[in-house]
Chains A and B, each alone.
Chain A
Amino acid sequence: MARAAIRGRLSWTLGDVVEVIDETPRVRSIVLDVPEWPGHRAGQHVDVRLTAEDGYQAQRSYSIASAPEDERLSLTVEGLPDGEVSSYLVGELRAGDKLELRGPVGGYFVWESGMGGPLLLVAGGSGVVPLMSMLRHRRASVGSVGARLVYSSRSLEDVIYRDELERLASAEGGPEILHTLTRSQPPGWTGYARRVDADMLRETAWPASSMPSAFVCGPTPFVESVAAALVLLGYPPTSVKTERFGPTGG
């Protein structure tokens, strides 16, 4: 009985920051070694807690970017102008530091390679992070279903994981990746240049008849408009899983 009671208990633990990677001017990945990490599923997140010298604590939830198969845990964090946790994580945290976290948490917004579907991933800004964990998991899985990522960013410089996404897409059996740049586009840009809307989804999403699984993540207004558009395209509401990041997307 004692064992059953302990199983599932979330407890805070310290991870060692092994590396920090600047993904864009505002976004950084934090690679961690977490002793006795129990493993995670693609789409889950962790809670991160910072404690000031005077004992004040602040806690936020961040999506896991690494695949379950990866050796190390990686988080990707967007620095928000007034974010008391994110500004520290993006601006000050260094390799060799320790970071207090608990997790993994969540079990609804997750995808595993055996779940079927073709996979439709729709990301707004840093909403791409849990979807990247899914794409990395898919790459590590044999015989995966088809996958498409529709990814909205402000500009090319704001595209997180740009190089890795290109590599994934060009690999055999890799996902199809469609970018839209909503604020500025480089010269010669041939991709979409507007917010994700129903017309764009009609052109890019798997037809509802193929029984797709959809995961939508980003700022709240983005997520809600995309989910509503997919339902209008015939996606059953239960096939569209959403994760809202709030007003700022981080």
Chain B
Amino acid sequence: MDGDAMRLDGNAMAGMLGEVFVREMTGARVACGGCGAVEPVGAEHAYTQAPGVVMRCCHCDSVLLVVTQTEETYRVGLGRARWLEFAEGA
């Protein structure tokens, strides 16, 4: 399958990120350490066919975060996401 066509976006990670961060995360902003772009999580690219879910920068394709889930654990792999910002209480 063509990799480009498999591309989803941060919206597809909403449920999983909601579990991990215990809040709505698609509106959170993430800064890419690769190119410096700051975008909402919902606008970033997501690949869900890999082992785990991979979030990549929608500008430079740097891996920002990788979330993998087993029966008992979540592991959040820290890629080139420099920071995540969300409104308090949102």
Contact = CB atoms under 8 A, between A and B. Distances in A.
Contacts of A8: 18, 22-24
Contacts of B40: 108
Q: With a 10 A CB-CB cut-off, give which of A103, A105, A247 has the most chain B CB atoms.
A: A105
Interface size class of B (residues with CB under 8 A): 20 to 34
Contacts of B10: 108
Q: With a 10 A CB-CB cut-off, give which of B4, B23, B24, B40 has the most chain A CB atoms.
A: B24
A241 B23 CA distance: 21
A24 interface: no
Nearest to B44: A108
Consensus secondary structure, chain A interface: mixed
B42 A61 contact: no
Interface size class of A (residues with CB under 8 A): 20 to 34
Interface string B6-43: 11111110110011001111110000000000001111
Given A105-B14, A244-B11, 8 more contacts: A8-B18, A10-B19, A59-B15, A107-B24, A107-B42, A108-B27, A220-B4, A246-B8
7 shortest A-B CB distances, which residue pairs?
A108-B42, A105-B14, A108-B26, A247-B5, A107-B24, A47-B15, A106-B14
